[in-house]
Structure 1
Amino acid sequence: MISLLKTEHKKTKKKYLLLTSLLITALDLAWIFYGNFSEDAILKGWMMFLYQLPLTNAIFLPFLMTVVASRLADIEHRGCMLKQLCTIVPRGKLFDAKLLYGFSIVLACMVIQFVSVFIFGCVKGFGGVYPFRLYSVYWLFTIAASLAIYIFQHTLSMLFQNQAVPFFAGVIGEFLGVFSMFLPQLPWLRKSLLWGYYGVLQFVGSDWDSQTRISTFYLYDFDWLSFVILLAVCLVLYRIGRSLFIKKEV
């Protein structure tokens, strides 16, 4: 497996995959940090970010994962390289290697985001102590939601030679996921979409006073049940996707 991961890294060196991922992450950070922060926003900055990050990640992370999964698979689909590769590497190991390598790139970008948020908050002088426990739980929830989406995108990219199929599936799923976050009165809609779990697992709410222009943030209970269900979905998607790829004719 280690040799396969090294091979994946070598194959992507001239494809600018890492650079593309970093540029998307930079755009994500620019979106997060853009604007003037009022005194109230600085005072409540840690909680404000916990409230805003789910929506931001629902926009940028699925797009990042669609690009990464598609680029990794497209390397093999071009020139019928996948057929040749499958004669020397077991299909299951190839599926796993590309999955691990691709998601490691996504995970690295997520680490950059969370570290950047921490540094930005410290430089800005956000009020109170950094809520390490809340951010750790949020990071755990974000990883689970992202893993489910990436397995889905990875499977489509490996199965379809035309990468327009997984791309449009990702765009449509992302749109529906973001749309569902604006409909809290329809929780079933969020829970029926992989992309909606950024909102399902959100545990910070906000009330905004239009007269004082001050936001009040509050905590929900952690939705551990949905988290466990999402992990089970990840396992099911992985088993189905791997099985379909092994049986695929190339």
Structure 2
Amino acid sequence: MKRYLFCEYKKTRRKYIFVMAVAITAVALCWGLYGKYNESALKSGWMMMLYQLPLLNTIFMPLLSIVVASRFAGIETSMMKQLCSVMPKQRLYDAKLIYSLSIILLSLLIQFVSVYIAGRCFGFSGRFPIELYALYFMFTIVPAVEIYVFQFSVSMLFKNQAVPFFIGAIGEFIGLFALFLPQYPWIRNSVIWGHYGALQFVGGDWDKVTRISTFYLMDINWVMFAVSILLCVAFYFIGRTLFVRKEV
């Protein structure tokens, strides 16, 4: 497997895929961190970010998955038949998935570290709640992997990358729309792009009179967490099986 992973590195090192991933992550961070932080915002800064980040991930992480998956799948468009004659198709699928997924996870790590550094620079009050952010990181990785494995599988199955792009864009719109309908939790629970919101455990209220936002902890949806993990495994085996059986 190391040899196959090194081959993926050699094939993609001049494609600037990681640069594009970092650029998308940087845009997401600028969007999420930009603004004027008054005394109230600084006092509740750490909780405020835990409230805002799931929305940010719902917007940008599916986009990142679309870009990375389509770039990795599109590299072999004209040489898939020759490539599959010199290496097993399941090995090709696994190597591409592992290598490209590492870019997604590295982008999440950059986001996590950047939020911590920004909070310290802005002057967020109080102790950094490492236990809550560790929980957030776990609840972000699982949906990110879930969405990416699905998007990668679709990209590997279709020669025309416009198809997986359209599927990902529609799914992202539905997931984002579901976040603005908290009274209908079944919507975000039923689509994988809504699972960032389904696993959100910090809520917020805004007082119209004082114009102050308050944030609070909510019950954790462990059932959806387990479902997301199961879907990660299911998407992997289904996508891998269909790719192996695909005529190239």
TM-score range, shorter chain: over 0.9
**CA distance in structure 2 between the partners assigned to 1:46 and 1:89 by the alignment:** 48
Cα deviation for residue 96 of structure 1 reads 0.9
Indicate the residue corresponding to 2:201 in structure 1.
203
Cα deviation for residue 177 of structure 1 reads 0.3
Indicate the residue corresponding to 2:116 in structure 1.
118
2:14 aligned counterpart, secondary structure? helix
Question: Which among 200, 220, 225 is matched to residue 227 of structure 1?
Answer: 225
Indicate the residue corresponding to 1:153 in structure 2.
151
Which digits, 9 at most, give the CA deviation of each residue in 1:56-98, with x for residues without a partner? 0100010001100000000001x2x111111111111111111
**CA distance in structure 2 between the partners assigned to 1:35 and 1:49 by the alignment:** 12
Cα deviation for residue 216 of structure 1 reads 0.8
2:215 aligned counterpart, secondary structure? strand
Indicate the residue corresponding to 2:166 in structure 1.
168
Cα deviation for residue 33 of structure 1 reads 1.3
2:65 aligned counterpart, secondary structure? helix
Cα deviation for residue 3 of structure 1 reads 1.1
Which digits, 9 at most, give the CA deviation of each residue in 1:117-167, with x for residues without a partner? 000111111111001011101110111001110011100110000000001
Equivalent position amino acid for 2:60 in 1: F
**CA distance in structure 1 between the partners assigned to 2:10 and 2:129 by the alignment:** 39
Equivalent position amino acid for 1:45 in 2: G
Indicate the residue corresponding to 1:69 in structure 2.
69
Equivalent position amino acid for 1:46 in 2: W
Sequence identity (%): 55
- TM-score using structure 1 length: 0.98
Indicate the residue corresponding to 1:89 in structure 2.
87
1:207 aligned counterpart, secondary structure? strand
Which digits, 9 at most, give the CA deviation of each residue in 1:172-221, with x for residues without a partner? 10010000000011111111100000000000000100110101101012
Question: Which among 215, 221, 239 is matched to residue 217 of structure 1?
Answer: 215
Aligned length: 248
**Structure 2, unaligned stretches of length 5 or more?**
none
**CA distance in structure 1 between the partners assigned to 2:38 and 2:7 by the alignment:** 49
Tell whether 2:136 aligns with 1:138.
yes
**CA distance in structure 2 between the partners assigned to 1:109 and 1:151 by the alignment:** 16
- TM-score using structure 2 length: 0.98
**CA distance in structure 1 between the partners assigned to 2:49 and 2:245 by the alignment:** 44
Equivalent position amino acid for 1:139 in 2: F
Equivalent position amino acid for 1:29 in 2: L
**CA distance in structure 1 between the partners assigned to 2:33 and 2:182 by the alignment:** 26
Indicate the residue corresponding to 1:37 in structure 2.
37
Equivalent position amino acid for 2:49 in 1: F
Cα deviation for residue 55 of structure 1 reads 0.2
2:75 aligned counterpart, secondary structure? helix
**CA distance in structure 2 between the partners assigned to 1:83 and 1:40 by the alignment:** 60
Cα deviation for residue 10 of structure 1 reads 1.2
Cα deviation for residue 236 of structure 1 reads 0.9
Deviates more, 1:84-93 or 1:193-202: 84-93
Indicate the residue corresponding to 2:105 in structure 1.
107
**Structure 1, unaligned stretches of length 5 or more?**
none
Alignment RMSD (CA, Å): 0.7
Deviates more, 1:198-207 or 1:85-94: 85-94
Which contiguous aligned blocks of 4+ residues in structure 1 show a shift greater than 2 angstroms?
Answer: none
Equivalent position amino acid for 2:220 in 1: F
**CA distance in structure 2 between the partners assigned to 1:230 and 1:29 by the alignment:** 25
